[in-house]
Amino acid sequence: MKPSEKTAYSCVILDDDPLSVFLLESYLTNIDKLALKGTFTDPVAAMAAFQNFELIDFLFLDIGMEVSGLDLARMLKKKARYIIFVTGHEEYAVKAFENGDAYLIKPVDFDTVLKTINNLISKNLTRNRLK
């Protein structure tokens, strides 16, 4: 049974490649603990939508778009608990960790996405227990 949206982790996808969005959306909708709040191929539309979102748990963000995903991450950092870069650009890995929490190289598979989400959740739970 899928958890209610109140107990599920919210997520948003922003990638200018519709095929990448479709693939990632199919993965995320098959993870019971996630509630997909939106998918965007247009960075400007995504920025406008984020004005109406409460804090999003997971933002899946491409880097190589018309507006750099690295710049978007800086702007959306306070609107997303975790930023996961999903990109085909290996050369941005070091720079991505300045504002991101994980870095996945396309093409990604379901198991890698699930493991990344679970790792970030468990790190947060451990951090909260240590406080």
> How far apart are the two ends of the chain, measured CA to CA in Å?
32
Q: What is the mean pLDDT of residues 44-61?
A: 95
**Each residue's pLDDT tens digit, 65-104:** 999 999 999 999 999 999 999 998 788 777 787 889 999 9
Name the more confident of 1 and 130: 130
- DSSP alpha helix (H) spans, the chain: 18-28, 43-50, 69-76, 93-96, 110-130
CA distance 113 to 131: 28
Check: pTM over 0.85? Answer yes or no: yes
Q: Write the single-letter amino acid at 119.
A: N
Q: What is the pLDDT of residue 58?
A: 97
Q: What is the pLDDT of residue 93?
A: 72
Residue 108: other Cβ atoms inside 10 A: 18
Question: Where do the domains of the chain lie, and which CATH numbers do they carry?
Answer: 9-130 (3.40.50.2300)
